[in-house]
Amino acid sequence: MLIVQKFGGSSVADPARIGRVADRVAATVRDGHQVVVVVSAMGDTTDDLLALAGAVSANPAPRELDMLLSTGEQVSIALLSMALAARDCPAVSLTGGQAGIRTNGFYAKGKIIQIDTRRVRAELEKGRVVVVAGFQGVSEDGEITTLGRGGSDTTAVALAAALEAGLCEIYTDVDGVYTADPRVVPDARKLEVISHDEMLELASLGAVVLHPRAAELAKLYAVPLVVRSSFNNGPGTLIKEVDDMEQAAVVSGVAHDANVAKIGLFDVEDRPGIASRIFQELAREYVNVDMIIQGAMRDGRNDIAFTVSRDDLPRALEAVRRIQDQVGAKGITYDDGVAKISIVGAGMVSHPGVAAAMFEALAEAGINIAMISTSEIKVSCVIRREEIEEAVRVLHRKFKLGSGS
């Protein structure tokens, strides 16, 4: 079987760890598999490079930052290939460009538009492990572009899709996908199998084992994924297409994200095109908007509230202030003391009353809900940040997700 294995920065942080990754890859080859490995930059390399950039320029150009940062993965692929060869496991390293990863050319936030797999396939046919630099590709003009956050996960899943790999293994520093964050809920249970839809919701909701972009791509191309630890031999969590949705758990897990801020525009004009104007302006600033609530209208006026990542709050505020007059908003409020809690489950779609049970459990614990957003397989609530851990424990218990349940 052709397997794509992805190892993050902490898994290749020093030569000893690179050696352990090489041991694992070599063992997979001995088991009779073809292997493509995707690696990130070693440990703190990216931070070190950013510090150098900061020391020479207050405002480095994205193109030059990509030129700089892409060296981090290039170092990792060379070292891992050497470590594999030292284990009599023939290997060849390829930069993103050499591996045929074409991007749209946007610096610092490139998107993969195509993968020309000829070189990778040719190397696999020669019996080599192919070690590919994650997080990077080249544009049509041959410019090096990095893929932004979650880039290495995305490289791995995209390669697995393009090569029609039998499995894509994401090695990380946790054992798999849990019913809730084990640091918050001590009896949280590792899930053996979940659906792509559930993984996508969990990834988007702040469960950090897999980046949402990669989860989305895995769902789109039905790539079978495993999330597992690079520090032990546990089986991890398998993410696959679930054939029988009726069999799925009603609630698979509780996810939370403390890195949330809320922005409100009140008394905006109630006419067509207003919401579109607001969210276009935010998109231009590359602010990802998460939950959106449009309040009850009264006298042709409207309130609009939405959440963004806390990091994006300054840019988001700038954007809405710029268009405040255009959309006739009387005022702008913001709150960076909030958090988001969500329940996710593929079986939710066929079980009414799950959302009500969630609201009831939070109310019983005296936790106030500021915003609500739902999809077919998840319910999210915005609450005060200081209540988030208590909320996770309450819901984990309510839906009987614990190992003692």
Contact residues toward a copy of itself (CB under 8 A) are 15, 18-19, 22, 49, 52-53, 55-61, 63-65, 67-68, 70-71, 74-75, 77-83, 85-86, 92-93, 95, 97-98, 142-144
Burial of 89 (0-12, 13-18, 19+ CB in 10 A): buried
Q: Cα 252 to the chain's mean position, in Å?
A: 18
Nearer Cβ to a copy of itself (86/283): 86
Smallest distance, Å, CB 38 to a copy of itself?
A: 15
Residue closer to a copy of itself by CB (options 63, 240) is 63
* Spatial distance between the Cα atoms of 34 and 39, rounded to a whole number of angstroms: 17
325-to-321, 329, 398 alpha-carbon distances in Å: 8, 6, 46
DSSP for 170-188, written as a single string: EEESSSS-BSS-TTT-TT-
Amino acid identity at 50: L
Q: How far is the CB of 175 from a copy of itself (least distance, A)?
A: 27
If you ran DSSP here, which 8-state letter would residue 10 be given?
G
Edge-to-edge order in the sheet of strand 289-294:
289-294, 301-309, 253-269, 331-344, 378-384, 371-375
3-state secondary structure (DSSP) of residue 353: coil
Cβ-based nearer residue to a copy of itself, 47 or 360: 47
Closest separation in Å from C-beta 73 to a copy of itself = 9
- Closer Cβ to a copy of itself, 5 or 342, answer by number: 5
Rank residues 71 and 294 by Cβ distance to a copy of itself and give the closer one: 71
- Cβ proximity to a copy of itself: between 100 and 253 the closer is 100
- Report the nearest approach of a copy of itself to the CB of residue 138 (Å): 10
Half-sphere exposure of 25 (CA within 13 A, CB side): 36
Across the strands, what pairs with 5? 37, 169
- DSSP per residue over 67-87, as a string? HHHHHHHHHHHHHHHHHHHTT
Instruction: State in angstroms the smallest separation of the CB of 148 from a copy of itself.
Output: 17
CB of 87 to a copy of itself, least distance (A): 9
Cβ 18 to a copy of itself shortest distance, Å: 5
Task: Report the residue number, 9 or 345, with the smaller CB distance to a copy of itself.
Answer: 9
Q: Which residues pair with 46 in a beta bridge?
A: none
The smaller minimum CB distance to a copy of itself, of residues 64 and 386, is found at: 64
Least Å from the CB of residue 91 to a copy of itself: 8
What is the DSSP pairing of strand 144-146 with strand 2-7? unpaired
